């Protein structure tokens, strides 16, 4: 099957391209094939398979985030070649290709200029190692060893999957694995070893010394993985910056691209400076060597609702069946997860409840400027000494995308959070806030020390504040700012009240004080089976996608309740509180798998909000100087 995909593509029906329907047919054909069950898993993924194992001009897929959109370019859609020996003219198709065939007749009148656009795509930033790993394994599983795959590649799969201890694997380990492992997987659970070696394996083509002079522009520091220049032919307007897509397209790594780009005679430039309309920086950003940044000619792109490999990705019948089957056990999984989180939060059940709600929150709509459904949680009173770090590792184990931003004075002053347009290189230089939807952003305020924020630090803090309040990031275009809406779950851990705004603050009240925090958390973590953790992962992703409504009856009840509350104490209950309680009620219902708000649900929401508030009051009176 796979062979056949590729063969069709290696020799595109160029000769017959006078027929315009041809292109549409090809697209339709591929879309049809890919819609078929499982067929998409036969396509090798750029995320998993090292680039040098992939055959050029074959069909590949890439799970990515649109990091930048370059200017549209005109290319030779149809051109004519002249065979030097026979002098015969042949019409050829330039679509889905970077480089023309030999012997182009540049003066042919049959040349058709067409338009396409290039997107700069990077792997989804902050994708958790487990998500990478599972999607890798599932892809590897279906790849039949008997397929067309060249023997080299076949072997590589075998090595990676079954034979961890073969020689080549070991060699690669010190090269790529070391750093990665320490950052992400210190627990050494059963799979960690696998991740250490696997996740970065797709990186081997881009050794670290290479990336030093070529900035691949990943939003987050320490990210790895292939970046890709995706050539888009259809539906340009339907794509937006920061979309997460699964792109199916034709891989083009023609080494000619690199040579063409690099071979610039400096003397030629001197003679005619206008020949180079691009600055060297621009050249580097837009035409990086194909071996580092492969080109991908898009046939078809699927917007990803989530990147959790445990869930069926497409909204098909498959998924609804999956959802309904899972709904049954939702409540029990919730209880287990709550218990787990309670342990993690040192026995604080209320904080665990709120953390759970936070993890399934999602901006589901916007009313003019107001994002609805966001639920930024501020966990105050966190114990110091790397507790937050451990906490993040546990969150990372649960969500498919996450990033921990340690808000130390140094990082706040030096880090670039907001993407900025670099007009010299003509690209959008990424920042840590350029994240995919539903990414968990873990802001660790416990790292903050006394000192002065410089102007970039103030800007960074403002950007974080904007992100939390309005769920938007104002990208810096130097002459103006441009607003990009986002959907990021922000969790702030702090000692006292956070300096950032938040939707809800929960002071942590540890019930247990383990003598050795590290050991304690590791034990909790180890106690969970992978299957259990997987259930949690599915649960969190799924609860977020459920629909939700409020019946008229409950609406009435809520209104009455609000009026009553105001009657008792108009100062303490404001519109803002109602906003928050409505969100809590929504999340609470969804967390139980209920898609409508019941009276009960509302009462519960009110109840836990009361508990939380009394706890905050208490905190306030305890240390009076707290604002």
Looking only at residues 565 through 604 of this chain, which bind another protein when binding is defined by CB under 8 A? Answer: 566-567, 570, 574-576, 578-579, 582-583, 586
Provide the minimum distance between the beta carbon of 559 and another protein in the complex, in angstroms, as a whole number.
4
Contact residues for 497 (Cβ-Cβ < 8 A; gap 6+)? 378, 380, 505, 626, 627
Nearer to another protein, 39 or 283 (CB): 283
Footprint on residues 123-152 left by another protein (CB under 8 A): none
Burial of residue 457 (number of CB atoms within 10 Å: 0-12, 13-18, 19+): buried
Provide the minimum distance between the beta carbon of 73 and another protein in the complex, in angstroms, as a whole number.
5
Footprint on residues 227-256 left by another protein (CB under 8 A): 237, 239-242, 256
Footprint on residues 291-320 left by another protein (CB under 8 A): none
Label residues 461-494 b or e (16+ Cβ within 10 Å = b): bebbebbbbbbbbbbbeeeeeeebebbbbbbbbb
Nearer to another protein, 138 or 462 (CB): 462
Which DSSP symbol is given to 96? T
Among 28, 115, 318, 519, binds another protein (CB under 8 A): 115
Provide the minimum distance between the beta carbon of 370 and another protein in the complex, in angstroms, as a whole number.
5
Q: Indicate the helix (H) or strand (E) that contains 370.
A: strand 370-372
Reduce the DSSP state of residue 528 to 3 states and report it.
Answer: coil
Nearer to another protein, 352 or 488 (CB): 488
Could you tell me which of 532, 531, 438 has the C-alpha nearest to residue 486? 438
Among 11, 106, 512, 622, binds another protein (CB under 8 A): 106
- Strand ordering across the sheet containing 472-476: 427-429, 420-422, 472-476, 481-485
Footprint on residues 362-391 left by another protein (CB under 8 A): 365, 367-370, 372
Draw the binding track, 403-432, toward another protein (x: CB under 8 A; -: no contact).
------------------x-xx-x-x----
Footprint on residues 505-564 left by another protein (CB under 8 A): 548-550, 555, 558-559, 562-563
Reduce the DSSP state of residue 161 to 3 states and report it.
Answer: helix
Reduce the DSSP state of residue 479 to 3 states and report it.
Answer: coil
Provide the minimum distance between the beta carbon of 443 and another protein in the complex, in angstroms, as a whole number.
19
Footprint on residues 46-85 left by another protein (CB under 8 A): 68-69, 71-76, 79, 82, 84
Draw the binding track, 477-496, toward another protein (x: CB under 8 A; -: no contact).
xxxx-xxxx-----------
Nearer to another protein, 331 or 458 (CB): 458
> CB-hemisphere CA count at 13 Å for 472?
15
Nearer to another protein, 251 or 398 (CB): 251
Provide the minimum distance between the beta carbon of 194 and another protein in the complex, in angstroms, as a whole number.
37
Provide the minimum distance between the beta carbon of 268 and another protein in the complex, in angstroms, as a whole number.
7
Separation between Cα atoms, residue 543 and residue 21, nearest integer Å: 43
- Asked whether position 94 contacts another protein by CB under 8 A, the answer is yes
Footprint on residues 258-277 left by another protein (CB under 8 A): 259-261, 263-265, 268, 271-275, 277
The C-alpha R_g of the chain, in whole angstroms, comes to: 27
User: CB under 8 A: which stretch of 92-100, 444-452, 502-510, 614-622 binds another protein?
Assistant: 92-100
Provide the minimum distance between the beta carbon of 95 and another protein in the complex, in angstroms, as a whole number.
9
Q: Beta 439-444 vs 112-123: how paired, if at all?
A: unpaired
Separation between Cα atoms, residue 271 and residue 111, nearest integer Å: 30
Burial of residue 282 (number of CB atoms within 10 Å: 0-12, 13-18, 19+): middle
Footprint on residues 326-365 left by another protein (CB under 8 A): 365
How far apart, in Å, are the Cα atoms of 425 and each of 70, 283, 422? 11, 7, 6
Provide the minimum distance between the beta carbon of 82 and another protein in the complex, in angstroms, as a whole number.
7
Separation between Cα atoms, residue 120 and residue 561, nearest integer Å: 51
């Amino acid at each position: 099957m796979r062979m056949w995909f590729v063969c069709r593509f290696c020799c595109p029906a160029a000769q017959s391209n006078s027929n315009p329907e041809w292109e549409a047919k090809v697209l339709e054909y591929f879309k049809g094939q890919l819609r078929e069950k499982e067929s998409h898993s036969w396509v090798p993924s750029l995320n998993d398979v090292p680039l040098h194992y992939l055959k050029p001009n074959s069909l590949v897929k890439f799970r990515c985030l649109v990091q930048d959109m370059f200017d549209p370019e005109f290319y030779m859609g149809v051109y004519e070649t002249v065979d030097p020996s026979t002098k015969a003219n042949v019409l050829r198709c330039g679509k889905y290709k970077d480089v023309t065939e030999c012997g182009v007749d540049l003066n042919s009148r049959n040349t058709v200029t067409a338009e396409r656009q290039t997107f700069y795509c990077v792997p989804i930033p902050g994708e958790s190692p487990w998500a990478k790993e599972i999607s890798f394994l599932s892809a590897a599983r279906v790849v039949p060893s008997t397929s067309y795959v060249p023997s080299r590649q076949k072997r590589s799969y075998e090595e990676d999957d079954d034979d961890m201890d073969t020689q080549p694997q070991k060699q690669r380990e010190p090269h790529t694995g070391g750093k990665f492992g320490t950052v992400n997987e210190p627990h050494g659970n059963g799979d960690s070893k696998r991740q250490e070696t696997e996740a970065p394996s797709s990186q081997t083509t881009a050794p670290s010394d290479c990336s030093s002079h070529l900035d691949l522009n990943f939003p987050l520091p320490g990210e790895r993985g292939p970046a890709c220049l995706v050539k888009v032919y259809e539906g340009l307007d339907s794509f937006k910056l920061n979309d997460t897509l699964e792109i199916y397209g034709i891989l083009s790594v023609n080494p000619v691209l690199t040579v063409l780009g690099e071979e610039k005679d400096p003397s030629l430039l001197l003679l005619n400076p206008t020949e180079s309309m691009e600055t060297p920086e621009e050249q580097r950003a837009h035409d990086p060597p194909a071996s580092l940044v492969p080109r991908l000619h898009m046939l078809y792109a699927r917007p990803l609702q989530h990147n959790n490999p445990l869930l069926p990705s497409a909204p098909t019948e498959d998924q609804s069946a999956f959802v309904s089957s899972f709904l049954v056990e939702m409540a029990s999984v919730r209880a287990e997860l709550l218990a787990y989180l309670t342990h993690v939060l040192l026995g604080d059940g209320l904080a665990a409840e709120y953390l759970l709600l936070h993890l399934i929150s999602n901006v589901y709509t916007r009313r003019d400027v107001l994002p609805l459904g966001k639920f930024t949680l501020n966990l105050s009173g966190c114990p110091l000494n790397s507790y937050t770090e451990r906490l993040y590792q546990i969150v990372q184990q649960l969500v498919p995308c996450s990033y921990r931003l340690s808000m130390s004075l140094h990082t706040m002053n030096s880090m670039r959070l907001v993407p900025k347009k670099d007009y010299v290189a003509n690209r959008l230089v990424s920042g840590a806030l350029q994240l995919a939807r539903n990414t968990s952003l873990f802001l660790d305020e416990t790292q903050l020390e006394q000192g002065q924020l410089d102007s970039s630090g103030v800007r960074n803090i403002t950007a974080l504040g904007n992100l939390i309040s309005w769920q938007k990031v104002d990208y810096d275009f130097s002459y103006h700012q441009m607003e990009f809406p986002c959907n990021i779950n922000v969790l702030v851990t702090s000692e006292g009240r956070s300096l950032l705004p938040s939707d809800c603050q929960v002071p942590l009240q540890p019930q247990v004080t383990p003598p050795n925090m590290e050991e304690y958390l590791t034990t909790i973590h180890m106690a969970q089976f992978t299957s259990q953790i997987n259930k949690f992962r599915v649960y969190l992703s799924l609860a977020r996608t459920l629909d939700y409504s409020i019946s008229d009856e409950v609406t009435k009840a809520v209104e009455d309740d609000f009026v009553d509350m105001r009657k008792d104490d108009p100062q303490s209950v404001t519109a803002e509180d109602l906003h928050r309680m409505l969100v809590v009620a929504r999340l609470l219902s969804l967390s139980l798998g209920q898609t409508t708000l019941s009276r009960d649900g509302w009462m519960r929401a009110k109840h836990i909000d009361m508990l939380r508030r009394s706890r905050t009051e208490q905190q306030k009176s305890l240390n009076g100087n707290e604002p």
